[in-house]
Structure 1
Amino acid sequence: MLSVARFCSILLLTQIIVCGQNVRSKNKNGKLTRPNTSFPQTPMMELLAQTIAPNIAQQNPGDLFDILRDKYPLPNGLKSPFSEYDYVIVGAGSAGCVLAARLTENPDITVLVLEVGKPENLLTDVPSIAPYFQRTEYSWPYFMEPQPGVCLGMENNRCFWPRGRAVGGTSVINYMIYTRGRPQEWDRIAADGNYGWSYKEVLHYYMKSERASLEGFEDSPYHGNSGELNVEFVPERTPLIDAFLEAGRELGHPTVDYNAPERLGFGYLQGTVHGGKRVSAAKAFLHRNKRRPNLHILPMSTVTKVLIDPKTRTAYGVQYARNRLRYEVRARREVILSAGPIASPQLLMLSGVGPKDHLSRLGIPVIQDLPVGHTLYDHITFPGLVFTLNVSNLSFVESRETRLDSIIQWIQYGDTAVSTTGAAEGIGYIKTPVSDDPDDVPDMELISIGGSIVSDGGPTGSKAVRRGMMIRDDVFDGAYGSIDNTDTWTAFPMLLHPKSVGYLELKNNNPFSHPRMYGNYLTDPRDVATFVASIRHIQALAATQPFQRLGAKIHRAQYPACRNLTFDTDEYWECAVRTLTATLHHQIATCRMGPDTDPLAIVDPELRVYGVAGLRVVDSSIIPRTVSVHTNAPAIMIGEKAADMIKATWR
Structure 2
Amino acid sequence: MQSMKINTLLILIISLSATSSNDDFDDIVTVSDEDYAVPEPSNYNGYEFVKKQKRHTSSPYKSRVLEAMLNTPMYHLNTSESDVFSAFRDQYELPKGFKGPLKIYDFIIVGAGSAGSVLAARLSEGKKASVLLLEAGVGESIIGSVPILAPLLQQTDYVWPYLMEPQPGVCMGMDNERCFWPRGKAVGGTSAVNYMIYTRGMPVDWNRIAAKGNYGWSYDDVLPYYIKSERANLRGLKNSPWHGKDGELSVEDIPFRSKLSKAFLDAGQLFGNRRVDYNSPDGFGFSFIQATINKGKRASSATAFLHDIKKRKNLHILTSSRATRILIDPLTKTAYGVEFQRLGQKYTIHAAKEVILSAGPIESPHLLMLSGVGPREHLESFGINVIQNLPVGQTLYDHISFPGLTFLLNATQLTLAERKIATLQNTVQYTQYGDGPMSSLAGVETIGYIKTQESNELGDVPDIELIGTCASLASDEGNIVAKGIRLSNRLYNNYYKPVEHLESFTIIFMLLHPKSVGYLKLGSKNPFEQPKLYGNYLTHPKDVATMVAAIRYIMKLVDTPPFLKYGSTLYNKKYPTCVQFDYDSDQYWECAVRTITATLHHQIATCKMGPPTDPMAVVDPELRVYGIRNLRVIDSSIIPETIAAHTNAPAIMIGEKGADLIKSRWGLLDNYA
TM-score under structure 2 length normalisation: 0.89
Choose which of 179, 204, 226 in structure 2 pairs with 1:159: 179
CA distance in 1, matches of 2:351, 2:614: 29
CA distance in 2, matches of 1:420, 1:638: 28
Post-superposition offset of 1:412: 1.0
Structure 1 residues 311 and 495, CA, compared in 2 at 3 Å: closer, same or farther? same
Match of 2:64 in 1: 43
Matched, 1:214 2:234: yes
Preserved CA contact (<8 Å) 1:308 1:314:
yes
Match of 2:377 in 1: 357
CA distance in 2, matches of 1:446, 1:270: 14
Post-superposition offset of 1:66: 4.4
AA of the residue aligned to 1:109: A
AA of the residue aligned to 1:44: V
Match of 1:474 in 2: 490
CA distance in 1, matches of 2:283, 2:120: 35
Q: Secondary structure at the match of 1:529?
A: helix
Q: Secondary structure at the match of 2:506?
A: strand
Match of 2:628 in 1: 612
Structure 1 residues 321 and 263, CA, compared in 2 at 3 Å: closer, same or farther? closer
CA distance in 2, matches of 1:634, 1:55: 36
Give per-residue Cα distances to partners, 1:41-80, cap 9 Å, x unaligned: 421232344576999885x646765451111111123110
CA distance in 2, matches of 1:53, 1:110: 38
Structure 1 residues 642 and 51, CA, compared in 2 at 3 Å: closer, same or farther? closer
CA distance in 1, matches of 2:72, 2:261: 33
Match of 2:416 in 1: 396
Post-superposition offset of 1:480: 1.9
AA of the residue aligned to 2:533: M
Preserved CA contact (<8 Å) 1:608 1:615:
yes
Match of 1:118 in 2: 138
Choose which of 187, 190, 206 in structure 1 pairs with 2:207: 187
Match of 2:658 in 1: 642
CA distance in 2, matches of 1:278, 1:54: 16
Choose which of 302, 312, 317 in structure 2 pairs with 1:292: 312
Structure 1 residues 57 and 165, CA, compared in 2 at 3 Å: closer, same or farther? closer
Choose which of 243, 260, 267 in structure 2 pairs with 1:240: 260
CA distance in 2, matches of 1:452, 1:56: 29
Structure 1 residues 54 and 244, CA, compared in 2 at 3 Å: closer, same or farther? closer
Preserved CA contact (<8 Å) 1:456 1:485:
no
Give per-residue Cα distances to partners, 1:601-641, cap 9 Å, x unaligned: 00000000000001000000000010000000000000000
AA of the residue aligned to 2:247: G
Give per-residue Cα distances to partners, 1:110-141, cap 9 Å, x unaligned: 00000000100111110001000112010000
Post-superposition offset of 1:554: 0.4
Preserved CA contact (<8 Å) 2:58 2:82:
no
Match of 2:12 in 1: none
Preserved CA contact (<8 Å) 1:184 1:439:
no
CA distance in 2, matches of 1:97, 1:552: 44
Q: Secondary structure at the match of 1:260?
A: coil
Match of 1:29 in 2: none
AA of the residue aligned to 1:450: C
AA of the residue aligned to 2:522: L
CA distance in 2, matches of 1:484, 1:376: 37
Match of 1:515 in 2: 531
Structure 1 residues 226 and 53, CA, compared in 2 at 3 Å: closer, same or farther? closer
Preserved CA contact (<8 Å) 2:95 2:316:
yes
CA distance in 2, matches of 1:167, 1:55: 23
Post-superposition offset of 1:405: 1.4
CA distance in 2, matches of 1:344, 1:230: 27
Gap runs ≥5 in structure 1:
1-32
CA distance in 2, matches of 1:34, 1:533: 45
Preserved CA contact (<8 Å) 1:39 1:137:
no
Post-superposition offset of 1:39: 5.9
Match of 1:146 in 2: 166
Preserved CA contact (<8 Å) 2:62 2:480:
no
Structure 1 residues 582 and 604, CA, compared in 2 at 3 Å: closer, same or farther? same
Farther-moved stretch of structure 1 (45-54 vs 150-159): 45-54
Output aligned runs, 1:96-107, within 5 Å.
Answer: 96-107=116-127
Q: Secondary structure at the match of 1:231?
A: strand
Give per-residue Cα distances to partners, 1:419-465, cap 9 Å, x unaligned: 001110000000000101224210000000112111111xxxx6200
Q: Secondary structure at the match of 1:498?
A: coil
Preserved CA contact (<8 Å) 1:480 1:557:
no
Post-superposition offset of 1:393: 1.0
Q: How many residues align?
A: 614
Match of 1:109 in 2: 129
Preserved CA contact (<8 Å) 1:39 1:136:
no
CA distance in 2, matches of 1:433, 1:54: 50
Preserved CA contact (<8 Å) 2:55 2:82:
no
Structure 1 residues 247 and 370, CA, compared in 2 at 3 Å: closer, same or farther? same
CA distance in 1, matches of 2:520, 2:118: 27
Preserved CA contact (<8 Å) 1:374 1:600:
yes
Matched, 1:567 2:583: yes
CA distance in 2, matches of 1:210, 1:568: 44
Give per-residue Cα distances to partners, 1:21-41, cap 9 Å, x unaligned: xxxxxxxxxxxx983688624
Post-superposition offset of 1:407: 0.8
AA of the residue aligned to 1:304: T
Give per-residue Cα distances to partners, 1:360-419, cap 9 Å, x unaligned: 000100000000000000000011111111111111111110001111111111001000
Preserved CA contact (<8 Å) 2:452 2:549:
yes
Q: Secondary structure at the match of 2:168?
A: coil
Match of 1:524 in 2: 540
Match of 2:285 in 1: 265
The CA RMSD over aligned residues, in Å, is: 1.7
Preserved CA contact (<8 Å) 2:57 2:83:
no
Preserved CA contact (<8 Å) 2:63 2:479:
no
Preserved CA contact (<8 Å) 1:238 1:394:
yes
Identity fraction in percent: 55
Preserved CA contact (<8 Å) 1:93 1:339:
yes
AA of the residue aligned to 1:85: Y
Structure 1 residues 185 and 57, CA, compared in 2 at 3 Å: closer, same or farther? closer
Preserved CA contact (<8 Å) 1:502 1:521:
yes
Post-superposition offset of 1:247: 0.2
CA distance in 2, matches of 1:113, 1:395: 42
Structure 1 residues 38 and 596, CA, compared in 2 at 3 Å: closer, same or farther? farther
Match of 2:608 in 1: 592
Structure 1 residues 600 and 36, CA, compared in 2 at 3 Å: closer, same or farther? farther
Matched, 1:80 2:87: no
Q: Secondary structure at the match of 2:127?
A: coil
CA distance in 2, matches of 1:115, 1:403: 36
AA of the residue aligned to 1:42: S
Post-superposition offset of 1:532: 0.5
Structure 1 residues 53 and 382, CA, compared in 2 at 3 Å: closer, same or farther? closer
Structure 1 residues 308 and 278, CA, compared in 2 at 3 Å: closer, same or farther? same
Structure 1 residues 498 and 64, CA, compared in 2 at 3 Å: closer, same or farther? closer
Preserved CA contact (<8 Å) 1:40 1:136:
no
CA distance in 2, matches of 1:176, 1:56: 25
Match of 2:6 in 1: none
Q: Secondary structure at the match of 1:358?
A: helix
